[in-house]
Amino acid sequence: MAPTWEERLQGVDCPLCAPRTTIGAFNIEIAKLTIATLYLGRNQVFRGYCVLIFDPRHVTGLQHLSQEENRALIRAGAIRFGLIHLGCPKFSASS
Ligand SMILES: [Zn+2]
């Protein structure tokens, strides 16, 4: 039986929680960062479309992160890989 919406919000059968495959149906792992993993989306909605997934636990939004986790996520993604918007990440290979 498929999980209910409330169970999905709690992380039951979450396809984004670890462990994840490095090469999946939707994403290809690019880099493991300190607090997240960066994946290249197979469906290139726009060139360089990537997904940054928070690794330590299941969360459904930035509001569920502590201030320290928020800073670490931004440092990991925004500075190291040139991600401009967490909600609509862009990956710059030149950064
Ligand atoms: Zn999850």
Asked if residue 68 is part of any domain, the answer here is yes
Ligand 1 centroid, distance to 57 Cα (angstroms): 7
Asked if residue 3 is part of any domain, the answer here is no
pLDDT digits (tens, 9 = 90+) for 47-66: 888 888 999 999 998 899 99
Task: Report pTM.
Answer: 0.74
Return the closest-CA partner of residue 20 out of 53, 42, 44: 53
Asked if residue 45 is part of any domain, the answer here is yes
Ligand 1 centroid, distance to 94 Cα (angstroms): 30
Ligand 1 centroid, distance to 47 Cα (angstroms): 26
Parent domain of 71: 19-91
- Residue 93 confidence (pLDDT): 41
Asked if residue 85 is part of any domain, the answer here is yes
pLDDT digits (tens, 9 = 90+) for 10-36: 999 998 898 899 998 889 999 898 899
Ligand 1 centroid, distance to 65 Cα (angstroms): 13
Asked if residue 86 is part of any domain, the answer here is yes
Asked if residue 82 is part of any domain, the answer here is yes
